[in-house]
Amino acid sequence: MPRIHTLDFIRGLAILGILLLNIIAFGLPRAAYLNPAWHGLPPDYDAWCWALVDLFAQEKFLALFALLFGAGLQMLLPRGKRWLQARLSWLVLLGFLHSTLLWDGDILFDYGLIGLVVWRMIRDVSSSRQLFNTGVMLYLIGSCALVVLGLGASSHPNSGWLPGFADVQYETFWKTQGGWPAILNRLDLFSSGLMALPVQYGWQLAGLMMVGSALMRSGWLKGSYSLAHYRRTAAILISLAWLIELPAIALQWASGWEFRWSGFFLQVPREISAPLQAAGYAALCFGYWPTLSRLRITRAVSGVGRMALTNYLLQTLICTTLFNRLGWFNQWDRWQLVAMVPAVWLVNLSFSLFWLRHFRQGPVEWLWRRLTLLNGGKPLTTGFPGKG
């Protein structure tokens, strides 16, 4: 199947956008990821930074990437069972190594594991509408689980939301010192995340993958509809998403990010709005592709999308070097961390342009493909990525 260049661009946007979220997890204690008041009420400039990232990026680019992952599963179905199982199994292993050896915020393991379950459902559901509706239902189950968890949660914040001084000091220690303490703590966080998959996040991820597959199967993610359709759809979906989420952002701020409400109940509007906004972003790209395709930056962003796995891991290497090895962890405010993101983007964009001048795919993508071929069947082409 020929490449869909618009999808490469959208995938690149997703990888670059995810860093707006991950930079907080790289540079601050875990509690800061969702709670700007993790060490007391933040100054207004930091709160505004949280609000803007929450509105435009938080969960949106992760949802967009999950939709594209599901679309990719749909496109890979002709490869057959052995190819898909091998490909996803290697992704699971890569995610485990990434999570335990480098960074505790890994998403690759979750995508690979859920993909191993979902691809069969995608294959066996013949109707695009049924596939779409099932995906929506699974996503809503995962979102509603937050309400159940909130009802059962204590009114007193835990260390994951409001850490004490000793908690912050210990997290700073093992992240900056590395070694076995870091590996053991990352393994502990990995096991906690694994248990959370069947409770909430796994349902959402499976749902998004199925919706993405349905949108690919229907032609929507192939750009088969009119430009007017995509532009109109983008305006409707993004406006609806903002109407759902803006009140929740305001209420979190007004409550001082109180644990039970901001940690559970007021997360639900964001969870509901994120797929709508993500699909709206994709629709914007399709709707304005004739203009976007003529821009130089579009080629660079598309290169990031073609090398999505390589660039995701490259972000980890850059950020763990800065914050863990050089000791920048917990030294910067939220807005300062977000201000660093364009510099990392520049590395992603430059490296992708350079590499793709000489090879057809990224280095990690090439390795992933070669490993898949060990037990996934015969390649369509052989040898190193090659010139081109």
Decide if 353 contacts 320 (C-beta within 8 A). no
What average pLDDT does this structure show over 174-201?
A: 93
Alpha helices, H only, 178-295: 179-196, 202-218, 227-254, 259-263, 268-287, 289-292
Instruction: Choose among 312, 277, 239: nearest CA to 15.
Output: 312
Reply yes or no on whether the pLDDT at 195 is more than 70. yes
∠ Cα 30 156 60 (to 5°): 40
Q: Which structure tokens are listed for 329?
A: 């962890």
CA distance 332 to 268: 29
Selected residue with higher pLDDT from 369 and 380? 369
Angstrom distance (rounded) from CA 374 to CA 332: 45
- pLDDT the model gives residue 158: 83
Q: How many residues does the chain have?
A: 388
With 0.85 as the threshold, say if the pTM is over it.
Answer: yes
Domain edges within the chain: 5-376
Q: Give the pLDDT of residue 376.
A: 62
Q: Are 108 and 365 in contact (CB under 8 A)?
A: no
Question: What is the distance, to the nearest Å, from the Cα of residue 177 to the centroid of all Cα atoms in its chain?
Answer: 27
Q: What is the pLDDT of residues 35-72, one digit of tens each?
A: 999 999 999 999 999 999 999 999 999 999 999 999 99
Contact 316, 98 (CB under 8 A): yes
| Predicted pLDDT of residue 152 | 84
**68-88 residue pLDDT tens:** 999 999 999 999 999 999 999
Kindly state the average pLDDT of the residues 138-145.
94
Q: What percent of the chain has pLDDT over 90?
A: 90
Handedness of CA 231, 138, 113, 198 (dihedral sign): positive
**Angle made by CA atoms 346, 103, 306, in degrees to the nearest 5:** 40
Phi, psi of 202 (to 5 degrees): -60, -40
- Of the chain, the percentage scoring pLDDT greater than 70 comes to 96
Give the contacts of 138 (CB within 8 A, at least 6 positions apart): 203, 204, 206, 207, 210
What's the pLDDT at 375? 74
Q: So what's the pLDDT on residue 387?
A: 39
Q: What are phi and psi of 247, to 5 degrees?
A: -60, -35
Instruction: Tell me the average pLDDT across 141-160.
Output: 87
CB neighbourhood size of 57 (10 A) = 18
Closest CA to 184 of 87, 104, 120: 104
Residue 130, both tokens: 């049924």
Helices (H), the chain: 5-27, 44-56, 60-76, 81-101, 108-124, 128-152, 165-177, 179-196, 202-218, 227-254, 259-263, 268-287, 289-292, 296-306, 308-320, 334-356, 363-376
Tokens 């898909």: give the residue. Answer: 84
Model pLDDT, residue 380: 45
pLDDT in tens, 213-263: 999 999 999 999 999 999 999 999 999 999 999 999 999 999 999 998 999
Task: Show the tokens assigned to 264.
Answer: 């559970």
pLDDT score recorded for residue 386 = 44
User: What SS3 class is residue 326?
Assistant: coil
Mean pLDDT of all residues in 291-311: 97
Q: At what angle do helices 268-287 and 60-76 cross, to 10 degrees?
A: 60
Structure confidence at residue 378 as a pLDDT band (50, 70, 90)? low
Query: End-to-end CA distance of the chain, in Å?
Result: 18
